[in-house]
A and B are shown apart, each in its own frame.
Chain A
Amino acid sequence: MANISVGTGLLLAGILFMLGLLGVLIRRNVIFILMSIEIMLNAAGLAFVVAGAKWSQPDGQVMFIFILTMAAAEVSVGLALILQIYKRFKSLNADNLNRMKG
Chain B
Amino acid sequence: MQILFYIAGIVAIASTVMVITRTNAIHALLNLIVSLLAVALIFFILGAPFIAALEVIIYAGAIMVLFIFVVMLLNVTREGIQKESKLLNPSSWIIPGILTAVLLIELLLIFSGVNQGLYNHAYRQVGSAVISPKQVGISLFTKYALGVEMAGILLMAGIVGAYHLGKGRKTVVHRYLSELTPVKSGEEETKNG
Q: Give the B-binding residues of A (Cβ under 8 A).
A: 1-12, 14-16, 18-23, 25-29, 31-32, 34-36, 38-39, 42, 46, 49-50, 52-54, 56-62, 64-66, 68-77, 79-84, 86-88, 92-93
Kindly state the interface size class of chain B when it binds its partner.
35 or more
Q: How far is the CA of A16 from the CA of B14 in the complex (A)?
A: 10
* Cβ contact within 8 Å between B73 and A31: no
* Cβ contact within 8 Å between A83 and B70: yes
Shortest CB-to-CB span from B179 to chain A, Å, is: 28
Q: A77-B158, A83-B166 are in contact. Are A31 and B139 (CB under 8 A)?
A: no
- In the complex, what residue of chain B is closest to A34 when comparing beta carbons? B67
Ranked nearest first, the 3 interchain pairs of A and B with the lowest CB-CB distance are A73-B158, A2-B1, A25-B96
* Cβ contact within 8 Å between A77 and B162: yes
25 CB < 8 A contacts A-B? A2-B1, A3-B2, A7-B119, A9-B42, A16-B13, A16-B16, A23-B19, A25-B96, A25-B100, A26-B20, A26-B88, A26-B93, A28-B84, A31-B71, A39-B20, A39-B35, A46-B43, A49-B51, A50-B126, A54-B124, A61-B48, A68-B59, A70-B151, A83-B73, A83-B166
Q: Give the A-binding residues of B (Cβ under 8 A).
A: 1-2, 4-5, 9, 12-13, 16-17, 19-20, 25, 28-29, 32, 35-36, 39, 42-43, 45-48, 50-51, 54, 58-59, 62-63, 66-67, 70-71, 73-74, 84, 87-88, 92-93, 96-97, 99-101, 103-104, 107-108, 111, 119, 121-131, 135-136, 138-140, 143-144, 147, 151, 154-155, 157-159, 161-163, 165-166, 168, 189, 193
Q: A2-B1, A35-B32 are in contact. Are A22 and B25 (CB under 8 A)?
A: no
* Cβ contact within 8 Å between A59 and B139: yes
Note all chain A residues with C-beta closer than 8 A to B48.
49, 52-53, 60-61, 64
Q: A12-B12, A61-B136 are in contact. Are A42 and B122 (CB under 8 A)?
A: no
* Cβ contact within 8 Å between A62 and B25: no
* Cβ contact within 8 Å between B131 and A52: yes
Contact of A69 among B36, B93, B101, B151 (CB under 8 A): B151
- In the complex, what residue of chain B is closest to A48 when comparing beta carbons? B51
Q: How far is the CA of A10 from the CA of B59 in the complex (A)?
A: 20
* Cβ contact within 8 Å between A70 and B2: no
Note all chain B residues with C-beta closer than 8 A to A69.
151, 154-155
Contact of B124 among A6, A12, A32 (CB under 8 A): A6
Note all chain B residues with C-beta closer than 8 A to A79.
66-67, 70, 162
- In the complex, what residue of chain A is closest to B10 when comparing beta carbons? A12
Q: How far is the CA of A2 from the CA of B125 in the complex (A)?
A: 9
Shortest CB-to-CB span from B164 to chain A, Å, is: 8
Contact of A1 among B127, B166, B168 (CB under 8 A): B127
Shortest CB-to-CB span from B52 to chain A, Å, is: 9
